[in-house]
Amino acid sequence: MTTRRTKGAAGAVTSRDVARALNISQSTVSRAFTPGASISAALREQIFEAAEKIGYRPNLLARGLIAGRSNLIGVVLQRQTNLLYPELLYELSGRLAERGYQVILFPIGEKASVRDSIDRIWAYRVDAVLATGILSEEEAATFEEHGLPLVMFNRILDLPVSSISCDFAAGARDLANRLIKAGHTEIGLISGPEGSFVGAEVERGTLSAIKGKAKLRVVHFDYRYESAPAAIAALQEGGKPLPEALFCVNDTVAAGCLDHLREKMGLSVPDDISVVTFGGYGPARWGSYRLTAMQQPMAQMTGAAVDLLLAQLDESNGGVERRSFLPQFVEGGTARL
C-alpha cells in the first residue's frame, strides 16, 4: 500500500521532496507543473507520478503571487438568463486553462450591486478582467485607474478599452432581409432594455433592412423567459394584430415567445407566425425549439478574447484593439424562409 506524506511534524510535502525522490532539481519539478514550460513529456509524466505517490500538490496561487501574478482572470457577467453565457464560460475557461490561467466569476445582479462587484475584483487581485456589456463607461474607467487590464465582450465603449464583439447590426440586417425576401410584411422586434448596446445594434441593423419594404414594431423588455408574454401583449397594444414575424434579441425571450404562442395562444410556429432570434445556443437547438437564429461565432470570439487579455498583460503588446466578428445563420425550424 502506498503511503502519502501529509502535513504533520515534518511539515507539508513540497516540490523539494519530489526533486529529492527523483534526484533532479527543484526547478525541473516547477517546470513540470507550469503550462507551456520546456520539458519532455516523459519526464513530466515521471514527475507527476512521483508527486502523486508522495502526495505533493503545487500551490499555483502562491507561486503566481511570488511572481507578481495571481494567474486569475476575472469574468464579469450579469445575473440574467442568457443562453450565451454558459457557452462563453465553457470556451473561455478551457482556453485560459491551456495558458495557465484560472477563471473567477463575478456575477452582477441589479445595477446597484455593480460597484460592490467591482470592489470584490480589487480584493481578489486578478490579473485582468473580461466584462460583458453591463459596465458603464464611468465604471470601466476605474479599471485604468487601478492599472487593471480590461477587455469588453459585446460592448464597445467611447474609451480606450479593448473589445471583442459580434457585428449585431450586420447580422440583424441579414436576418431581416431573409424575412422580407420570404414575404413577411411586418416584423415585431423584441429588443433589450433601453440603453442596451446589443439591442440598439440589432434595431439599427433591422431598420437598415426595412427601408419601406416592411413595417417594424419595436418593444423593449429585459432578457427573461418570463417577459415574453408581456412583450407579445405590447406588440398587440391598441388592438393591433400580431406581426407576421417576431425578431427576439436573445434565445431566452425567443423560447418564451415560442411557448406562449403555441401553448397559450394556440398558434402554429412557423405556419401562423415566424420566430427568429440572435443566439441559437444550448436549449435553442433542442428538438422542441430549434430556433431559427443568427449565431455568434463563439469559438472565434473567445479565442480572440483570450489573445487580447494576455496581450494586455504583456506590456509590449498592451495597445487598444477592437475586433468584430460576423454572425452565422442557423436555419432552425421556427421561420418561413
- Overall pTM surpassing 0.75 (yes/no): yes
Summarize the confidence of residues 257-275 as an average pLDDT.
97
Q: Bridge partners of 217?
A: 188
The contacts of residue 180 (CB under 8 Å, 6+ apart) are 209, 210, 213, 214
In this structure, what C-alpha cell is assigned to residue 290? 430549434
Structural domains of the chain in order of their starting residue, each with its CATH number: 15-58 (1.10.260.40), 69-166+298-329 (3.40.50.2300), 168-296 (3.40.50.2300)
Amino acid at 326: L
| Tens digit of each residue's pLDDT (9 = 90 or more) over 202-241 | 999 999 999 889 999 999 998 889 999 999 999 999 999 9
Most confidently modeled of 125-134, 174-183, 220-229? 174-183
**Burial bucket for residue 68 (CB in 10 Å: 0-12, 13-18, 19+):** exposed
pLDDT of residue 186: 96
Strand 328-330, strand 274-278: pairing: unpaired
Give the confidence band of 3 by pLDDT, cuts at 50, 70, 90: very low
Provide the 10 A C-beta neighbour count for residue 184. Answer: 23
Q: What is the pLDDT of residue 15?
A: 80
Q: Nearest-5° angle of CA 59, CA 302, CA 152?
A: 95
Partners of 76 in the beta sheet? Answer: 106, 131
Give the β-pairing of 162-166 and 322-325.
parallel
pLDDT of residue 193 exceeding 50, the answer is yes
pLDDT tier for residue 264 given thresholds of 50, 70 and 90: very high
Burial of 322 (C-beta count, 10 Å sphere; 0-12/13-18/19+): middle
Grade residue 270 by pLDDT with cuts at 50, 70 and 90: very high
The C-alpha cell 423567459 sits at 225
Closest listed residue to residue 243, CA positions, set 222, 224, 267: 267
Q: How many CB atoms lie within 10 A of CB 310?
A: 19
Minimum mean pLDDT range among 86-90, 94-98, 113-117: 113-117
pLDDT of residue 196: 86
